[in-house]
Amino acid sequence: MLAPNWMELLVLVGTGGVGAAVLIYLVLRMFVWNKAESKSLERISKHAFWTGFIAWAFSSLAGANRAGLYSPHQMSDPLAPNVVVPVDPWSTIPVSWLIGPVVAVLLVHLIGQLSWPAPKSARRVAVLEYRKVRDYVQPLLGWSVFCIFAATAIVLIILACAPGFPARPAGRTGEGMTLLPLDGRIPGWMLATVLGAALVVLATGTLLVMRLTASRRSLEALNPEQNKTLRAIGMNRLLRVSATVASGLAAIAGNYLAQPAPASVDTSWTNWLGLVNMAVLVTMFFWKPPALQPDTPYSGASLSAAARPGKASFGATKLMDSTAVVLVPAAAAGVLLGYGLRYWLGWMGTIALSLAFMVLAYLALEMVLARNYGAPVRLRSGGRPPLKAPLPRWVYGGFGLSALGLAAAIGYAAASSTSLPPRRWDGFPAPWAIYVVPCILAAAILLAGLAAMWFALARPQLNNVPEALDATLRRRSLFRIARTVTSCWFALAGVVFSMAAPPLVSHPPAMQLDLSIVSALCFALGAIVLFLPVRAYTPEDMYVPDANKPSMSK
């Protein structure tokens, strides 16, 4: 069999590692390691959020879903098809895809706990207390994670006793029944050894990081109760992602155990442990950590300074912060419409239409804001100063990167399309649909975003609301719209890369171009962009200049 040599593997692993390191650095540099605002509650909350989010992004075990299995093609030599080649059992276990996510999750949480801002005051005030790990673990979550780890250990014991069998090529029975090819599997104890090592590393590392979370020094910007809540947040995020990874290890073992034997005539089978893993994933994803927020919507302010907004200002901010009330129904409507158009748009229509409806939901919020709090008479051109810095500069860079990725994906799909539709395309049955449909969807959400942005900039100024707060509300709306459009374009690029068939080559045994890593990177970037936090309110947004106060320049 043809396989990449060690130099090719080094190039692939090195490129992926450098890309991941650059991505982590950019995220932490822009949203976490900002020393100027390290004492603000908003920055502290972002640090805790991004630590958990980055760890979750690296927790995928999808690259090892076929661990311990091998296809009939791996038993034959391309130059001599009739010669049976023995398969190395250990080569079927992608150790790096099993141990790598475990180490990455623990390392991210370890860095997150070690990178809290150090005390800067000359005199420190500390509370003498003996902190135990169980004091910061929610009882229900702790017992749930313990049961998941125990169940995974039991599954691995069963896996160790499972026998292996060879792969079955396609053929026919004596009665003329067609037999589909079935994968073979290695002896179960080999796979159980690697999965067990990963589980032990995960359990041991989780306990050590939990101990570090409980024993690390407190933040001087928080009071004792808030420091306790912050430790509970770290424990919550660590346990949730560890439970997800542990259930993923059990799902890999379940995929191995569900494989039919060579004598079986079954044409389909179900990995029940994989379904359990999906249930655990959804449950842990929506398991909320404790809240660390002040009693004011201005969470970007320091803990000692929280402005008291006026009635109109408070109503406007409360309206624009109730995005979940309209985003969930809007996204659901987009999913239903995409499902109805699945025979033309494929499942990429579900993603694009749900995000497009979210953009329209932001437009509807702006309309309601202008209706309820807008000035009675619309300001003429020049009556309101132009909005300065409507979007951060890196937002334009992110949108440009998504445009380049989408253009590359569409170009690749157009170049690789043949007289037959791509094998993974599930939309309109035509070879051109794989690159025409993404163009239509990308243009649709771009037009929706431009319309929403135009209204946010052109709407009348709010009545009885400070000018600074009005500008902040516009910037927050523009940022939400821009991040949704950018996320959609990243997602469309990932879908096209995953669905477009590779170009045909004259030599089938040659190394084919696998863009699954690029597709996964596009999906990860789309998810990160979609959940980027908006600019927080500050006390300066409530400042109303005093017209009677003489200017210093006079």
Residue 468's nearest CA partner among 362, 367, 384 is 384
- Measured distance CA(134)–CA(235) in Å, rounded: 10
pLDDT, tens digit, 9 for 90 and up, residues 68-87: 888 776 655 555 455 455 66
pLDDT, tens digit, 9 for 90 and up, residues 420-461: 455 567 777 777 888 888 999 999 999 999 999 999 988 888
Q: Which two tokens stand for residue 332?
A: 């659901």
Sorted by sequence, the CB contacts under 8 Å of residue 524 that are 6+ apart come out as: 23, 57
- What's the pLDDT band for 208 if we cut at 50, 70, 90? very high
pLDDT, tens digit, 9 for 90 and up, residues 230-265: 899 999 999 999 999 999 999 999 989 988 877 666
Q: What is the dihedral of CA 36, 41, 47, 52, to 10 degrees?
A: -170
- Measured distance CA(299)–CA(295) in Å, rounded: 9
Q: Point out which residues pair with 70 in neighbouring strands.
A: 184
What number is the average pLDDT over the span 453-475? 85
Q: Is the pLDDT of residue 204 over 90?
A: yes
Q: Please report, for residues 52, 109, 207, 213, 289, the alpha-carbon distance to residue 132 in angstroms, rounded to integers and kept in the order given.
A: 22, 19, 12, 10, 19
What number is the average pLDDT over the span 156-184? 74
Q: Is the pLDDT of residue 507 over 60?
A: no
The pLDDT assigned to 271 comes to 84
Angle between the 467-499 and 516-530 helix axes, to the nearest 10 degrees? 160
> Are 518 and 280 a contacting pair, CB within 8 Å?
no
Sorted by sequence, the CB contacts under 8 Å of residue 478 that are 6+ apart come out as: 390, 391, 453, 456, 457
DSSP element (H, E) containing 489: helix 467-499
Q: Which two tokens stand for residue 465?
A: 């609301």
More confident residue, 465 or 452: 452
Q: Is the dihedral of CA 126, 129, 130, 136 positive or negative?
A: negative
Q: Which two tokens stand for residue 69?
A: 């299995």
Mean pLDDT across the chain: 77
- Taking the CA of residue 5 as centre, how many other CA atoms within 13 Å lie in the half-sphere pointing to its CB? 1
- Measured distance CA(536)–CA(41) in Å, rounded: 10
DSSP element (H, E) containing 178: strand 178-179
DSSP 506: S
The pLDDT assigned to 193 comes to 93
- What's the pLDDT band for 156 if we cut at 50, 70, 90? very high
In three-state secondary structure terms, 417 is coil
pTM for the model stands at: 0.56
